[in-house]
Each structure stands twice: as structure tokens, then as C-alpha cells.
């Protein structure tokens, strides 16, 4: 099935239609294939995106919904 995506014009959030969500079993299979290491420069460098966090969000909380043994946002 091809995924259907929507974009919120106010926030720019892009999200999939709920009918396109993976089952819990399929989601776990994808998660189990993922390798996340603090020694992986690709993973660590991807967090440079947080340097561009909108200035209006200063002082706000951010959640790290990544995959791996530990949170990475706090490490970088």
C-alpha cells in the first residue's frame, strides 16, 4: 500500500494517514533492524538539526523518540 501523507500548513508537520500506520509487529521488526551507536558519526551529526531549532522554542522541552540503547539528544 502506498502511504498517504498530509502537511499542516501552520506548523509544517508532515504525517501519515492512520490507515498507513504499521502494525505493532511490523513496527517492532523495523526497530529490531535499526543499529544506533554513539560512535556512529552519521547518527551523531544528524543531531546538528537541533542547532536550527526555532528560536521561539528556547526553554521548551524536546523528546528523543529515537531507536537505541540510550537517548542521544542529551549527549550532543
**Entry pTM:** 0.42
Q: Which candidate, 38, 40, 3, 32, places its Cα nearest to that of 19?
A: 3
Reply yes or no on whether the pLDDT at 67 is more than 60. no
Percent of the residues in the chain that have a pLDDT greater than 70, as a whole number: 61
pLDDT of 16 > 70? The answer is: yes
Helix, strand, coil share of the chain (percent; to 5)? 40, 10, 50
More confident residue, 75 or 48: 48
Question: What's the pLDDT at 15?
Answer: 92
Give the pLDDT score at 69: 58
Cα-based distances in Å from 71 to 12, 28, 44, 64: 25, 18, 11, 6
Q: Where are the domains of the chain?
A: 5-58+67-75
* Calpha distance 76→74 (Å, rounded): 6
Amino acid at each position: 500500500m502506498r502511504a498517504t501523507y498530509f502537511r499542516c500548513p501552520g506548523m509544517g508537520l508532515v504525517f501519515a494517514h492512520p490507515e498507513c500506520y504499521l502494525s505493532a509487529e511490523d513496527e517492532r521488526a523495523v526497530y529490531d533492524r535499526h543499529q544506533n551507536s554513539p560512535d556512529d558519526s552519521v547518527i551523531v551529526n544528524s543531531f546538528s538539526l537541533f542547532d536550527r531549532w526555532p528560536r521561539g522554542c528556547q526553554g521548551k522541552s524536546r523528546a528523543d523518540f529515537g531507536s537505541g540503547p540510550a537517548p542521544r539528544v542529551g549527549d550532543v
